[in-house]
C-alpha cells in the first residue's frame, strides 16, 4: 500500500546522506528541509521524498492508492518522548497547592507524599484501570505529535505492584500504534517501612524484583532515582549491575536535587541516557564527553518545580548531544505535550529551533534506542510523521507555544 503526501510547503528534518544515530555539538544546529515537497510511504516505511517537481517528472503524475494534499502545511517527523511515567493511577494537584504554599518536593516526599502517594493509588488500581488510563494518555500524546514513547514503572514499589505496572506497559506496547519502550524503575522511592534501612529495599529490588522482571521479559531498561534524599550512588551501582546482568540497559534519573554523582555512575555503567541534570558542574560535562550516554533534560519538570535550568547551551558548546523529553508524571510534570517542550527548549534553554528539533526527535530517539528507525524523515525509517495546520514556517512550531499546531498524525504510514 502506498500513500503520497503532496504539495508539502516544507518537509522538515530530512536526512539525505548517511543517517546519524544522534546529533552532537555543532551538528545539533544542522537540519535539512525540502520546500514544495512530496513524501511517499510504502508498507509503513518512508519510501522516497524530494521536491514536487521530481515526483512529477518521475511518476508522470501517476496516482497512488492514497493521496493527501498538504498545501500550506509543513510535515515533521513525530516527536520521540524518551522519558515518561505515563502509567499512574492518580493526579496530585493537592501537592501542587502545597508547593505553591511553600513546601518543597523533597519535604513532601519525606512526609510520605509524592511518589509514595502515587504508589498507594497504584496498588489499589486494577490492571485494566491502569491500562485504560494509559491508552487515553497515549492517544493525547499522539494527537500532540508524539510517535514513540518510553514508559517507566516506579509507582509500584512492591514486587507485585511493579510487575502489574510493567504488564500494563507490555499490553500498551502490544496494542498501541506508538513505538513503546519499557523501563523498570523499582528504585524510584523508598517505601515508609524501609526508611532508615533502605539497603534492604535495594536488596529486594536486586534479589526479587529484577529476576522476576527479567523472567517475564518485561523491561528494556533499568532506572534508578539517584539523588539526594533518594538512592545513593552505591545503591545505584548495585542495582545497575544486577539489571545489566539480566539484560537491561541503564537509563537513569540523576542530578535533579543535587550534584549527586548520578552522572558519573550512569556513565560508568554505560547508561543510554542520564536524565534531569538540573544540577550540573564542569566535572559532569567533562565526564559525558566521548561517551555513548545521552544527556537528557526535562524542561517540564524544571518549569513545574521551579528548579534551576540545566546548562543546555554549555553542553552543546562543549560538543555534547542534548535530548529533551516530557517526564510526563503526576508529581513533577503533568503534561505529555512535546510541542511545549520544543518551545521551552528555545525560550528557556536558548536552543535554536533546529537544535530544539534535534533534541526532541533524533536525540530522544537515540535515548530510547530507536534512532535507527525513527527520529528523522529518512528512506527506510518508519513512516511516523505529522502534518501541521497551515503555518508560516518551521520556526513557528516553537514560537507559538501552548497551541496545538498538529492537524494530522501518521504512524507506520497509517493515518490516526
Name the site residues for Fe ion (rule: CB under 5 A): 327
Cβ distance 47 to 40 under 8 Å?
yes
Which does residue 150 touch among Fe ion, ligand NIG, none (CB within 5 to 8 A, set by kind)? none
Which alpha helices (H) appear in 210-361, and where do they start and end? Answer: 210-215, 233-245, 262-268, 282-288, 299-305, 312-317, 338-347, 353-360
Q: Does 99 bind ligand NIG (CB under 6 A)?
A: no
Pick the binder of ligand NIG from 243, 261, 299, 330 (CB under 6 A): 330
Residue 207 sits at the vertex; the CA angle it makes with 202 and 212, to the nearest 5 degrees, is 115
Q: Which is nearer to ligand NIG, 275 or 355 (CB)?
A: 275
C-alpha cell at 232: 545513593
C-alpha cell at 115: 511518589
Name residues contacting ligand NIG, limited to 63-92 (CB under 6 A).
Answer: 85
Which does residue 147 touch among Fe ion, ligand NIG, none (CB within 5 to 8 A, set by kind)? none
Q: Name the segment binding ligand NIG (CB under 6 A); options: 119-127, 198-206, 262-270, 330-338.
A: 330-338
Q: Does 301 bind ligand NIG (CB under 6 A)?
A: yes
Name residues contacting ligand NIG, limited to 331-360 (CB under 6 A).
Answer: 331-332
Which does residue 299 touch among Fe ion, ligand NIG, none (CB within 5 to 8 A, set by kind)? none
As measured in angstroms, the least distance from the Cβ of 48 to ligand NIG is: 40
Closest residue by Cα to residue 260 from 240, 235, 286: 235
As measured in angstroms, the least distance from the Cβ of 106 to ligand NIG is: 10
Q: Which is nearer to Fe ion, 92 or 382 (CB)?
A: 92
Cβ distance 73 to 385 under 8 Å?
no
Q: What is the DSSP annotation of 104-171?
A: -HHHHHHTT-THHHHHHHHHHS-HHHHHHHHHHHHHHHHHTTEEEEEEE--S--SHHHHHHHHHHHHH
Taking the chain, what is the end-to-end CA distance rounded to the nearest angstrom? 16
Pick the binder of ligand NIG from 77, 113, 114, 262 (CB under 6 A): 114
As measured in angstroms, the least distance from the Cβ of 415 to Fe ion is: 31
Which does residue 164 touch among Fe ion, ligand NIG, none (CB within 5 to 8 A, set by kind)? none
Q: Name the segment binding ligand NIG (CB under 6 A); options: 15-23, 44-52, 112-120, 127-135.
A: 112-120
Q: Which is nearer to ligand NIG, 118 or 371 (CB)?
A: 118
Pairing of strands 414-415, 294-297: unpaired
Q: Does 320 bind ligand NIG (CB under 6 A)?
A: no
Name residues contacting ligand NIG, limited to 166-225 (CB under 6 A).
Answer: 225
The H or E element that residue 172 is part of is helix 159-175
Rounded to whole angstroms, how far apart are CA atoms 23 and 338? Answer: 19
- Residue 338: count of CB within 10 angstroms of its CB: 27
Q: Which residues make up the interface to ligand NIG (CB under 6 A)?
A: 85, 114-115, 118, 225, 253, 256, 301, 327, 329-332
Amino acid at each position: 500500500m502506498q500513500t503520497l503526501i503532496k504539495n508539502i510547503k516544507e518537509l522538515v528534518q530530512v536526512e539525505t546522506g548517511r543517517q546519524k544515530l544522534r546529533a552532537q555539538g555543532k551538528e545539533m544546529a544542522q537540519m535539512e528541509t525540502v520546500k514544495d515537497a512530496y513524501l511517499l510511504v510504502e508498507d509503513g516505511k518512508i519510501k522516497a521524498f524530494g521536491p514536487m517537481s521530481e515526483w512529477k517528472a518521475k511518476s508522470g503524475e501517476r496516482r497512488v492508492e492514497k493521496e493527501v494534499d498538504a498545501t500550506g502545511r509543513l510535515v515533521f517527523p513525530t516527536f520521540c518522548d524518551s522519558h515518561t511515567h505515563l502509567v499512574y493511577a492518580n493526579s496530585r494537584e493537592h501537592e501542587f497547592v502545597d508547593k505553591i504554599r511553600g513546601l518543597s518536593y523533597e519535604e513532601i516526599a519525606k512526609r510520605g507524599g509524592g511518589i509514595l502517594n502515587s504508589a498507594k493509588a497504584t496498588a489499589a488500581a486494577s490492571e485494566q484501570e491502569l491500562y485504560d488510563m494509559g491508552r487515553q494518555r497515549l492517544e493525547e500524546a499522539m494527537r500532540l505529535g508524539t510517535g514513540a514513547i518510553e514508559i517507566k514503572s516506579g509507582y509500584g514499589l512492591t514486587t507485585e505492584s511493579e510487575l502489574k505496572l510493567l504488564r500494563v506497559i507490555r499490553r500498551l506496547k502490544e496494542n498501541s500504534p506508538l513505538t513503546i519502550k519499557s523501563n523498570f524503575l523499582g528504585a524510584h522511592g523508598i517505601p515508609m517501612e524501609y526508611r532508615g534501612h533502605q539497603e534492604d529495599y535495594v536488596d529486594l529490588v536486586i534479589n526479587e524484583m529484577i529476576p522476576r522482571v527479567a523472567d517475564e521479559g518485561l523491561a528494556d531498561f533499568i532506572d534508578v532515582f539517584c539523588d539526594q534524599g533518594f538512592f545513593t550512588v552505591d545503591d545505584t551501582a548495585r542495582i545497575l549491575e544486577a539489571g545489566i546482568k539480566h539484560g537491561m540497559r541503564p537509563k537513569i534519573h540523576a542530578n535533579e536535587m543535587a550534584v549527586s554523582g548520578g552522572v558519573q555512575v550512569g556513565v560508568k555503567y554505560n547508561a543510554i541516557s542520564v536524565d534531569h541534570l538540573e544540577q550540573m558542574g564542569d566535572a559532569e560535562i567533562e565526564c559525558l564527553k566521548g561517551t555513548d550516554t545521552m544527556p537528557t533534560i526535562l524542561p517540564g519538570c524544571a518549569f513545574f518545580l521551579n528548579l534551576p535550568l540545566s546548562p543546555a547551551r554549555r553542553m552543546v558548546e562543549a560538543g555534547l548531544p542534548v535530548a529533551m523529553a516530557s517526564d510526563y508524571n503526576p508529581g513533577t510534570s503533568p503534561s505529555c505535550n512535546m510541542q511545549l517542550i520544543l518551545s521551552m527548549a528555545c525560550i528557556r534553554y536558548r536552543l535554536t529551533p533546529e537544535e530544539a528539533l534535534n533534541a526532541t526527535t533524533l536525540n530522544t530517539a537515540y535515548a530510547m534506542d530507536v534512532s535507527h528507525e525513527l527520529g528523522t524523515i529518512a528512506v527506510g525509517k518508519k513512516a511516523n510523521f505529522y502534518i501541521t495546520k497551515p503555518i508560516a514556517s518551521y520556526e513557528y512550531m516553537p514560537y507559538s507555544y501552548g497551541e496545538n499546531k498538529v492537524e494530522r498524525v501518521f504512524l507506520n504510514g497509517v493515518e490516526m
